Amino acid sequence: MYDVTSHQSSEDFFQRALAVSPGGVNSPVRAFRAVGGGPVFMESGVGPWLTDVDGNRYVDLVGSWGPMLLGHAHPAVIDAVTAAVAGGTSFGTPSPPEVALAEEIVARTPVDQVRLVSSGTEATMSAIRLARGFTGRDLVVKFSGCYHGHVDALLAEAGSGVVTLGIPGTPGVPAHVTADTIVLPYNDTAAVDAAFAELGDRIACVITEASPGNMGVVPPLPGFNQHLSDTCTRHGALLISDEVMTGFRVTRSGHWGLDGAVEGWRPDLLTFGKVMGGGFPAAAFGGRADVMQHLAPAGPVYQAGTLSGNPIATTAGLATLRAADEAAYARIDAASSHLQRLVASALTDAGVAHRVQAAGSMFSVFWGSADPVVDFAGAQAQEAWRFGPFFHAMLDAGVYLPPSAFECWFVSAAHDEEALSRIEAALPAAAQAAAAAQPA
Ligand SMILES: Cc1ncc(COP(=O)(O)O)c(C=O)c1O
């Protein structure tokens, strides 16, 4: 453990961290650069609450950026993990929980087979390699504002921390790597058609967030994902639906449960992470059996991992998914809808033009206009400078929001009356702070 002999504040930890880690954090958006101030160092979490090293309690609307669907320290997850840890933490062999987790994923989603990995980045990177290996083609289509992890080829015009920190491109990614990436505007079927008309026989895959949540929440327009699926099928390319954020969150079978399952199509490959690890590093990619059979050792496309299918991570993920029943999803949906109404009415009362957009229970606020946001250009046009003062007023009142206007807010099944009341009480002053904000 860290040194507990004398009390150290968040500020103390941040100074120590700055000396030994770049920017004092292990993932950029945690650094509060977009909202000002230093990060809060959290010590513990239970249900919808986080407690920092200074003893302050916050209602958590980040949920570890998505994984904590059930809230923190859910008893079923803690019990399962505690029992599993006592039996050893990693064997480097196949083990029972990874089979059970794979079966659960196959039962809930449109994948025939699945390969477990340790992060969402690994999942998308490996899915793209598999798509290229399967099709024998090189080009990858992605959409601006979508974030698929820090994969070299996918960082072009990415969302999440890349947009939060205003990083235009990324030094360290060779030009020849992104030369095979075609970046198109999101929700633009004409742009998709034009790219395929010109390059269709060279495109290995289209990768898209099932519903983008990394430029704020920008849901697919009706029929957009189906159009991607149809277009890929017609041209012999694969559709990779990235459900790292939406998977097992917006329905029991992810975003596909809201569109593909209803409309009768399925992606060729899907990627998962976050919720399926139950707060541990576990992620996955899966899809059509004939495509997955190209993966080593069944086929020639190589992919591997020392900790892939780790018994503790898969135990946590399995316990999380088993506890995520219809009642849990109903609670999350109800809490999210209630919260969206509270936020909208506080901003309206304070005279702040805004738009709340949702994909299932995931939602975010766009500042400065009530117009629908359908793409990255629209997301970037918002008055993001209103968010910093709003964020800090919420933080001061004990509500922990994602420290960026371009990230979505995550509600858990544990967000009860008490947690929602704390948020409701915090909103009016925060909305006033947003109203009074000035551009930098
Ligand atoms: C849609 C999407 N894909 C991929 C990733 C990368 O996952 P990880 O951070 O586990 O590497 C993320 C992370 O936020 C994500 O939201």
Alpha carbons within 13 A on the beta-carbon side of 119? 9
3-state secondary structure of 28: helix
Partners of 139 in beta bridges: 203
3-state secondary structure of 51: strand
Partners of 233 in beta bridges: none
Tell whether ligand 1 has an atom less than 6 A from the beta carbon of residue 119.
yes
The helix (run of H) or strand (run of E) holding residue 50 is strand 49-52
Q: What is the pTM of this model?
A: 0.96
Query: What span, in angstroms and rounded, lies between the C-alpha atoms of 365 and 115?
Result: 35
Tell whether ligand 1 has an atom less than 6 A from the beta carbon of residue 181.
no
Task: Give whole-number Cα distances, 168 to 121, 209, 227, in Å.
Answer: 20, 20, 29
Query: Left, alpha or beta for 289 (phi > 0: left; psi -120 to 50: alpha)?
Result: alpha
Nearest CA to ligand 1 atom 3: 148
Query: What span, in angstroms and rounded, lies between the C-alpha atoms of 166 and 385?
Result: 13
Ligand 1 atom closest to the CA of 274, numbered from 1:
10
CA of 119 to the centre of ligand 1 (A): 7
pLDDT at 194 over 90: yes
Instruction: Return the percentage of the chain with pLDDT > 70, whole number.
Output: 97
pLDDT tens-digit map of 334-376 = 999 999 999 999 999 999 999 999 999 999 999 999 999 999 9
142: annotated active-site residue: no
pLDDT tens-digit map of 288-329 = 999 999 999 999 999 999 999 999 999 999 999 999 999 999
Tokens 């150290």 correspond to what residue?
Answer: 8
Among residues 149, 188, 212, the alpha carbon closest in space to that of 406 is found at: 212
Query: What span, in angstroms and rounded, lies between the C-alpha atoms of 282 and 77?
Result: 14
Nearest CA to ligand 1 atom 7: 120
CA of 149 to the centre of ligand 1 (A): 5
CA of 245 to the centre of ligand 1 (A): 7
- Candidate from 147, 186, 218 with most ligand 1 atoms within 8 A of CB, to mutate: 147
Residue 5: its pLDDT value, please? 63
CA of 135 to the centre of ligand 1 (A): 25
147: annotated active-site residue: yes
Tell whether ligand 1 has an atom less than 6 A from the beta carbon of residue 354.
no
CB contact set of 235 (below 8 Å; sequence gap of 6+)? 196, 200, 201, 203
Ranges assigned E (strand) in 244-317: 269-272, 283-287
